[in-house]
Amino acid sequence: MMRKEELIDSGGGWNPGKLEYKPIFIWPPRPIAFLKWLFHYPDGFIFPWAAVHIIITLISYVYFLPSFERFANFSIDWISIIFFRNFIILFVYTGLWHLLLHILRSQEDKFRYNLKPLGTGKKWLFGSQTKENMFWSLCCALPIWTAYESIMLWCYVNNYMLFPIHDWASNPIYFCLLFIAIPVIQHIHFYFIHRLIHWKPLYKWVHYLHHKNVNIGPWTGLSMHPVEQLLYLSTILLHFIIPSHPIHFIYQGMHTSLGAQKGHSGYERLIVNKKTGFSIPSAGYFHYLHHRYFECNYGELTSPLDKWFGTFHDGTKQAHNNIFKEKKIS
């Protein structure tokens, strides 16, 4: 247990303590710890949020996906159906997070990292951090997400994917395991494109827009420059070379988009029952530290890349000094 004086200031609010990597990509392997983390509720890898995103994907696939023969040719009619489906999902999902935590303030500042209110003033489009974040999320990220999904559906129907899966029953184990792998694929992809856009020229013209949000809210997740959105959401295109069924790359888009919104809620946990204190995980302190200090924690705790490349900030003063000893960042 770390003493308070050994931890950095989180911004005046909740500090979860020292961060540790998840029991994946570790040596020697810890299979029991891995399985506990994978299936634990409510703090496991699958439950609750991966399961929620998979359920949203299944409903979207079964009830709100046009017939496959229509995908043979690009057409505004079926693309618009996918666009409005994604719009409703993104607006409702993110809107509920924002409504509960930042408008109704259902748990006030409990588990909140930064106690300052979300920004207002001339720094922001429309004079509001939330309105600017909504603009970039709905007017830019949403069309790009829809475009990538549409391209992949067109590729699938026209046999342009390298390894398409046409029937889940042909390899049911792989079919199911890919759902578990998809978030990890996204986290590894995110690390490399994230390091790229921290290259000074790209940061100055592209990534700065996202980093205006030092204090974060749910709509911050996809609030990015269009170039960054093209790179970030391109994880969907990886299924051109990964053996996949359409439900897999649709889930990839759902996880990449909705996970970003949840991950920027600004709260460590969401209180479900105030009487018992039962709560489920919300945002991640790991990525919050990236917004606070910029040059650390480029990936996620499921991927060891930050540790390998010396940019892992575990929330302690020692780690902070190791990373920023020459930059005088406090």
Preceding amide of 281 cis, omega within 30: no
The pLDDT assigned to 271 comes to 97
Task: Note the helical H segments in the chain.
Answer: 31-39, 49-63, 76-98, 129-136, 142-157, 172-197, 200-202, 208-211, 226-232, 246-263, 285-293, 305-308, 317-324
pTM of the model: 0.95
The pLDDT assigned to 73 comes to 98
C-alpha closest to that of 303 among 224, 210, 198, 192: 192
210-213 long-range contacts, CB within 8 A, separation 24+: 211/291, 211/294, 212/123, 212/124, 212/129, 213/119, 213/129, 213/133, 213/264, 213/291
Residue numbers of the chain with a pLDDT score lower than 50 = none
The pLDDT assigned to 249 comes to 98
